[in-house]
C-alpha cells in the first residue's frame, strides 16, 4: 500500500515570555523555535510552488495523440492503442508507445477520443477498455457501434469518454480495443483545404486529488 503524503499547516511556536533582563538561554530557545517554524513554513511553500507542486497546485498532466492509422489484423482480438506524439507533459509520460505512466500517486482524470472508420456496408461494433499495469480494469469496457459505408463514403464516428482512476506512483494505464470486423479501424486524416488534420487517437490525463 502506497504511503500518502499531505500538506500540514505548521503549528506556531510557543515562545513564552522573556525575562526582564537579557538571558542567552531564553534567546537561544526562542530563536531555535522560530527557526524550526520557518523551516517548516518554507517546506510547505516549496511543496506548493515546486516543479509539480508536490501534487497540489502545479499538478501533473499530460496530453498525447497519434497521427498514425491503427488497424485490427484479426477480429475479436485485443490491441493496445498507441501514441506517437506528446503535446504536453508534466509528471505524466507515455512509455513503450501505449503506457500512460504517472510519477505521483493520486486520483487522475483520463479522457480519450478515437476517430473510428468502417469500410464495410454493414454496421460493426468496437469495444474499448482500460488496463492498469497490464490488468483489465473491471467495468471499464465501452461498446461502440461504427456506422456502415454509405455510397462511396466510409462510415465515421468519434468515440470518447473519460474515467477517474486511482493510481500509485509509477503505475501505467493503457487503452485497449477490439472489433468484430477488420473493416473497422482508428484512422488519422490529412488536412483539407479549409480544415486541419485529424488525429486517430487523443488522450489527456490530469491530476485531480491525492488519495486519502
Per-residue pLDDT at 179: 98
Q: Could you give the CA distance from residue 180 to residue 78 in angstroms, rounded to a whole number?
A: 11
Confidence of residue 207 (pLDDT cuts 50, 70, 90): very high
Query: pLDDT tens digits for 11-57?
Result: 777 777 777 777 777 777 788 888 888 888 777 777 666 665 555 56
- On the CB side of 161, CA atoms within 13 Å amount to 12
Q: Which of 31-40, 118-127, 176-185 has the lowest mean pLDDT?
A: 31-40
Per-residue pLDDT at 7: 61
What average pLDDT does range 53-77 have in this prediction? 87
The beta-strand segments (E) located in 23-152 are 61-66, 70-71, 79-80, 85-90, 92-95, 99-102, 106-118, 124-132, 135-136, 142-146
State yes or no: pLDDT of 211 exceeds 80. Answer: no
State yes or no: pLDDT of 193 exceeds 80. Answer: yes
Per-residue pLDDT at 33: 81
What average pLDDT does range 132-141 have in this prediction? 97
State yes or no: pLDDT of 195 exceeds 60. Answer: yes
- How high does pLDDT run on average in the chain? 89
Query: pLDDT tens digits for 71-106?
Result: 999 999 999 999 999 999 999 999 999 999 999 999
pTM of the model: 0.76
Work out the angle at residue 185's Cα, subtended by the Cα atoms of residues 174 and 180, and round it to the nearest 5 degrees.
Answer: 90
State yes or no: pLDDT of 123 exceeds 60. Answer: yes
Per-residue pLDDT at 35: 83
Give the strand pairing for 85-90 and 79-80.
Answer: unpaired
Exposure class string for 88-118: b at 16+ Cβ within 10 A, else e: eebbbbbeeebbbbbebbbebebebbbbbbb
Smallest CA-to-CA distance from 180 within 136, 118, 131 is with: 118
The count of other CB atoms within 10 Å of the CB of residue 205 is 27
State the DSSP H helix or E strand holding residue 83, giving kind and residue range, or none if neither. Answer: none
Instruction: Decide if 178 contacts 186 (C-beta within 8 A).
Output: no
Q: Could you give the CA distance from residue 15 to residue 30 in angstroms, rounded to a whole number?
A: 6
Q: Could you give the CA distance from residue 22 to residue 128 in angstroms, rounded to a whole number?
A: 74
State the DSSP H helix or E strand holding residue 171, giving kind and residue range, or none if neither. Answer: none
* 3-state DSSP assignment of residue 25: helix
The count of other CB atoms within 10 Å of the CB of residue 59 is 20
Class of domain 60-209: mainly beta
Q: Which percentage of the chain shows pLDDT scores above 90? A: 70
Q: Could you give the CA distance from residue 116 to residue 70 in angstroms, rounded to a whole number?
A: 9
Domain segments of the chain as ranges: 24-48, 60-209
Per-residue pLDDT at 78: 98
Per-residue pLDDT at 48: 67
The alpha carbons of the chain give a radius of gyration, in whole angstroms, of 26
Amino acid at each position: 500500500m502506497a504511503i500518502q503524503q499531505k500538506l500540514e499547516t505548521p503549528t506556531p511556536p510557543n515562545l513564552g515570555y522573556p525575562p526582564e533582563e537579557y538571558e542567552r538561554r531564553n534567546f537561544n530557545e526562542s530563536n531555535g523555535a522560530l527557526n524550526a517554524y520557518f523551516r517548516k513554513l518554507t517546506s510547505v511553500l516549496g511543496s506548493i510552488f515546486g516543479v509539480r507542486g508536490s501534487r497540489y497546485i502545479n499538478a501533473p498532466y499530460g496530453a498525447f495523440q497519434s497521427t498514425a492509422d491503427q488497424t485490427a489484423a484479426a477480429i475479436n482480438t485485443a490491441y493496445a492503442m498507441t501514441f506517437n506524439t506528446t503535446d504536453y507533459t508534466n509528471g505524466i509520460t507515455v512509455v513503450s508507445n501505449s503506457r500512460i505512466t504517472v510519477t505521483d500517486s493520486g486520483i487522475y482524470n483520463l479522457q480519450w477520443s478515437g476517430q473510428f472508420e468502417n469500410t464495410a456496408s454493414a454496421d460493426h461494433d468496437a469495444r474499448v477498455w482500460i488496463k492498469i499495469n497490464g490488468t483489465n480494469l473491471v467495468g471499464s469496457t465501452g461498446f461502440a457501434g461504427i456506422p456502415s459505408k454509405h455510397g462511396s463514403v466510409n462510415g465515421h464516428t468519434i468515440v470518447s469518454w473519460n474515467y477517474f482512476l486511482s493510481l500509485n506512483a509509477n503505475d501505467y494505464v493503457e487503452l485497449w480495443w477490439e472489433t468484430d470486423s477488420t473493416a473497422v479501424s482508428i484512422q488519422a486524416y490529412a488536412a483539407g483545404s479549409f480544415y486541419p488534420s485529424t488525429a486517430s487517437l487523443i488522450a489527456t490525463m490530469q491530476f485531480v486529488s491525492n488519495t486519502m
